[in-house]
């Protein structure tokens, strides 16, 4: 798939996007889950052991996303198991790496060999494209917290693929409009030459030029490249008002080159693949301030209780504190939804779980709203239908496994190279 099904229009304002069944309309759509879940039913409807795999980037160009996503998965597994509501998760975690290191090739073999029937991951759309068909053939449900490639909407997946993050069509529109609304008339774009990078580039360009601006320079690089001087020279030659950088951690090399070329960081616009708190870790510190740089990433503003629980879980496992929480909520919700669907199905088979995913997210049926695994499980165990709204929003899977409700946040860097949400 190269686009969303049907004819859809998009209107972006205030930086928050809501995807409905027939149109993309901008509106706030996150709900706040309850901080203290209630206990489940005394008599669970099932006694299931769900073998769940996670395939997330412990190494590679997206490794900065590993801690928030792994902490989200781990916290959800802990809370599902503590609820003792009929589903116990047996988690096997493996390293995704990236399309350059190919760690996923060994990892996916290990996960399938461990007998998992559902996998949270991969983080990168490029990796998911390489493993999805194999998972479908094996009957494994796959749910990603961060795949944003538009083509997953129409993938021939036998109904086994889901994601809790919105399509790049939304993020590209929000960022393109943000650049235009900031008064910039010309734009240069450096982007990764893969489906992620080209998809975002196309949508940023279309939106920015639709708002009256002009993309005066663009330069692509390949995954695995380590030299970006030519791309920076291409952008500098046209002296644009603003520069969008669509990358993963290559930003740490590209940004100093842009600054050395005389392009100040307050002209930078970034995306979820590189938007991070760069001032909080020695290995990501820059010798200059990113103050004024802006960017976008999916997800609502998170409640302090959730982030506190994430930190407590993650550090309790012997890890350093999470630097930022990109896709942590989406990863947490992915686990909760799979567990609820398994409970509702009374089965741990991938196809059976998949058949209940829309129902427990509110995409089908007339379920009762609930905001924690324990509360939703009690509804199911009492014979009702649960409609889970999580920390990443209302979710509400459509027939393609896409979330119908999603938010895109806009962020700005301070002098300390830390980001603050601006919407």
Q: What is the pLDDT of residues 333-358, one digit of tens each?
A: 999 999 999 999 999 999 999 999 99
How many distinct helices (H) and strands (E) make up the chain?
11, 19
Domain of 205, CATH number, reads 3.40.50.2300
What was the pLDDT predicted at 256?
95
pLDDT (tens digit, 0 to 9) for every residue of the chain, 423 residues total? 333 333 323 333 333 333 333 333 333 333 344 444 434 445 576 799 999 999 999 999 899 899 999 999 999 999 999 999 999 999 999 999 998 899 999 999 999 999 999 999 999 999 999 999 999 999 999 999 999 888 999 999 999 999 999 888 889 999 999 999 999 999 999 999 988 899 999 999 999 999 999 999 999 999 889 999 999 999 999 999 999 999 999 999 999 999 999 999 999 999 999 999 888 655 666 889 999 999 999 888 888 899 999 999 999 999 999 988 999 999 999 999 999 999 999 999 999 999 999 999 999 978 999 999 999 999 999 999 999 999 998 899 999 999 986 789 999 999 999 999 998
**Sheet containing 141-144: which strands, arranged edge to edge?**
87-95, 48-56, 118-121, 141-144, 161-163
- Residue 46 in any domain: the answer is yes
Instruction: Please tell me the total count of domains within the chain.
Output: 2
Q: Does this model's pTM top 0.85? A: no
- Position 282 scores a pLDDT of 57
Residues 326 and 386 in one domain: yes
Per-residue model confidence (pLDDT) at position 404: 87
40 and 139 assigned to the same domain:
yes
Same domain, yes or no, for 153 and 39? yes
The tokens for 375 are 């509360």
Q: Are strands 48-56 and 118-121 parallel, antiparallel or unpaired?
A: parallel
DSSP 126: H
Using an 8 Å Cβ cutoff, are 85 and 340 in contact?
no
- SS3 call for 10: strand
Alpha-carbon distance of 411 to 408, in angstroms, equals: 10
Please report the pLDDT score of residue 280 as a whole number. Answer: 61
137 shares its domain with 179: no
Question: What pLDDT shows up at residue 284?
Answer: 60
Could you list the residue range(s) of the whole structural domain that residue 97 is in? Answer: 31-165+306-392
In a domain, 36, yes or no: yes
Do the domain assignments include residue 3?
no
For 225, the token pair is: 């490249």
Instruction: Examine the domain organization and report whether 271 and 328 are in the same domain.
Output: no
Q: Which residue has the tokens 């830390």?
A: 418
Tokens 């390293």, residue located: 95
Please state the separation of Cα 4 from the chain's center in Å.
18
| Residue 201: per-residue pLDDT | 97
> Residue 264 is encoded by which pair of tokens?
């100040």
- Residue 118 and residue 66 share a domain: yes
Asked whether residue 280 falls in the same domain as residue 416, the answer is: yes
User: Per the domain annotation, does 115 fall within a domain?
Assistant: yes
The predicted pLDDT at position 12 comes to 33
pLDDT tens, residue by residue, 289-313: 999 999 999 888 888 899 999 999 9
**350 shares a domain with 263:** no
Specify whether 290 is located in the same domain as 312. no
Exposed e or buried b per residue across 377-407, where buried means at least 16 C-beta atoms within 10 angstroms of its C-beta: bbbbbeeebbbbbbbbbbbbbbebbbbbbbb
Residue 361 located in a structural domain: yes
116 and 203 fall within a common domain: no
Q: Are residues 267 and 180 in the same domain?
A: yes
Is residue 221 within 8 A of residue 193, CB to CB? The reply is yes
249 inside domain: yes
Residue 81 lies in a domain: yes
Report the alpha-carbon angle 233-415-211, nearest 5. 55
Segments of 100-173 assigned E as strands: 118-121, 141-144, 161-163
pLDDT in tens, 18-53: 333 333 333 333 334 444 443 444 557 679 999 999
Q: What is the pLDDT of residue 8?
A: 29
Return left, alpha or beta for 374; rule: phi > 0 is left, psi -120 to 50 is alpha, else beta: alpha
Q: Is residue 23 part of a domain?
A: no
Residues 287 and 313 in one domain: no
Residue with the two structure tokens 């960017």: 295
């Amino acid at each position: 798939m190269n686009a969303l099904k049907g004819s859809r229009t998009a209107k972006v304002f205030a930086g928050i996007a809501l995807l409905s069944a027939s149109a993309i309309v901008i509106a706030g759509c996150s709900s706040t889950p309850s901080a203290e879940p209630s206990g489940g039913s005394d008599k669970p409807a099932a006694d299931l052991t769900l073998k769940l795999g996670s395939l997330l980037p412990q190494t590679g160009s997206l490794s900065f996303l590993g801690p928030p996503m792994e902490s989200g998965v781990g916290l959800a597994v802990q809370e599902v198991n503590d609820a003792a509501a009929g589903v116990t998760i047996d988690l096997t975690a493996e390293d995704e790496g990236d399309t350059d290191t190919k760690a996923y090739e060994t990892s996916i073999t290990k996960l399938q060999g461990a007998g998992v029937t559902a996998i949270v991951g991969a983080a990168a759309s490029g990796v998911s494209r390489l493993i999805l068909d194999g998972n479908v053939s094996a009957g494994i449900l796959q749910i990603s917290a961060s795949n944003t490639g538009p083509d997953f909407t129409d993938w021939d997946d036998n109904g086994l693929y889901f994601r809790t993050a919105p399509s790049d069509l939304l993020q590209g529109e929000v960022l393109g409009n943000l650049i235009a609304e900031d008064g910039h008339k010309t734009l240069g774009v450096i982007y990764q030459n893969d489906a992620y990078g080209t998809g975002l580039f196309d949508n940023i360009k279309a939106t920015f030029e639709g708002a009256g601006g002009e993309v005066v320079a663009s330069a692509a690089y390949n995954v695995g490249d380590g030299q970006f001087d030519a791309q920076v020279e291409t952008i500098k030659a046209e002296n644009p008002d603003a520069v969008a950088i669509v990358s993963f951690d290559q930003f740490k090399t590209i940004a100093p080159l842009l600054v050395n070329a005389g392009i100040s960081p307050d002209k930078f616009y970034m995306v979820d693949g590189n938007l991070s708190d760069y001032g909080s870790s020695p290995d990501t510190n820059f010798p200059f301030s990113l103050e004024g740089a802006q960017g976008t990433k999916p997800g609502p503003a998170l409640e302090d209780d959730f982030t506190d629980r994430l930190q407590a879980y993650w550090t309790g496992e012997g890890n350093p504190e999470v630097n930022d929480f990109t896709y942590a909520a989406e990863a947490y919700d992915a686990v909760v939804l799979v567990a609820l669907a398994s409970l509702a199905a009374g089965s741990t088979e991938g196809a059976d779980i998949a058949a209940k995913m829309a129902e427990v997210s509110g995409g089908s049926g007339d379920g009762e709203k609930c905001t924690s695994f324990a509360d939703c499980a009690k509804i199911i165990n009492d014979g009702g239908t649960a409609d889970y709204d999580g920390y990443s929003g209302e979710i509400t899977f459509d027939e393609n496994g896409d979330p119908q409700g999603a938010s895109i946040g806009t962020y700005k860097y301070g002098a300390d190279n830390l980001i603050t949400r601006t919407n």
